[in-house]
């Protein structure tokens, strides 16, 4: 990690300086206003996507459990245990 940090400091052509000497953390980490908006919009978007996928995963698990329960009940009713 220190090598990566050093290379970013040495080759400033492609990487923005996020934490420069003498800046306070309230300065926005050196991001322009449009980049801050893009950062927060993408953060919000991926958070919503994550929550949606997580909810669907729980729903799928509940449906699979219900299906296993109904299969077990129908097997007991048919005289097949297993």
Identify whether the C-beta of residue 63 lies closer than 8 Å to the C-beta of residue 69: no
User: In whole angstroms, how far apart are CA 77 and each of 63, 68, 73?
Assistant: 21, 14, 6
- The alpha carbon torsion through 29, 32, 36, 38 (nearest 10 deg) reads -140
Question: Cα–Cα distance between 6 and 3 in angstroms, integer?
Answer: 5
Q: Which two tokens stand for residue 19?
A: 């934490």
Q: How many CB atoms lie within 10 A of CB 15?
A: 12
List the single range of 6-15, 33-42, 50-59, 71-80 with lowest mean pLDDT.
71-80
pLDDT band of 2, cuts 50, 70, 90: confident
pLDDT at 54 > cutoff 60: yes
Is the model more confident about 69 or about 60?
A: 60
């Amino acid at each position: 990690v220190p090598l990566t940090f050093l290379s970013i400091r040495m080759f400033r052509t492609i990487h923005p300086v996020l934490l420069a000497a003498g800046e306070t953390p309230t300065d926005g980490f050196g991001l322009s206003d449009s980049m801050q908006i893009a950062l927060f919009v993408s953060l919000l978007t991926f958070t919503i996507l994550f929550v949606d996928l997580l909810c669907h995963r729980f729903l799928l698990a509940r449906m699979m459990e219900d299906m296993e329960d109904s299969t077990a009940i129908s097997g007991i009713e048919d005289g097949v245990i297993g």
